[in-house]
A and B are shown apart, each in its own frame.
Chain A
């Protein structure tokens, strides 16, 4: 079984500052890793994903994440945030190729608040 730990429940930052949202996973098999964003009263939108290949993954809205197998991490970064990035961010894991990849297991979420 897979699990995900998001180390920070809340991250406040100022506009135009860089941000890193931390995610660690646990799994005994290969995994797929995802970051989703959820704006208030809305569903989830996929920011980016790691399935295989290059460990640096670029997503929408200027976000990127790096898969680090030795540290079992998949941290999300953005060099300069905007007010509109204020939202809840979820890291998620599923079984990789050959595994049970029908189910996403989500972390508890990180609330990113961007202040002017």
Chain B
């Protein structure tokens, strides 16, 4: 199994809603990442988890809250988002905290109304 699975594939939410994005991998990888990709732009790193601990936060607003409950799962909790947060959210994983071999999921397309 060489897949990173993200759910849901599409999500529409209001600015007062609370929702969560989920990411799962069963490759035994110990580093997991969240990237944000706005339309027609490159992906930008948000968070890095290494061995289930948050190791990098790229100055992301607190309305985005990551969580790594175990080595296979990564969540991104969303609360009080703004319309400009609408984007494709990509999860990725790697064996260790290095990007030499990074596997990406297909993403969650988020629309904030």
Interface residues of A (CB under 8 A from B): 32, 34, 41-46, 49, 51, 90, 94, 101-104, 106-109
Other than A101-B100, A102-B55, give 19 A-B pairs with Cβ distance below 8 A.
Answer: A32-B99, A34-B99, A43-B6, A43-B90, A43-B105, A43-B107, A44-B90, A46-B101, A51-B100, A101-B99, A102-B48, A103-B48, A103-B56, A106-B42, A106-B43, A106-B44, A107-B42, A108-B42, A109-B40
A101 contacts across to B, CB distance below 8 A: 98-100
Given A43-B90, A90-B42, A103-B45, A32-B100 contact (CB < 8 Å): yes
Name, among A41, A51, A108, the residue most crowded by chain B CB atoms within 10 Å (CB to CB): A41
B4 contacts across to A, CB distance below 8 A: 43
B41 contacts across to A, CB distance below 8 A: 108-109
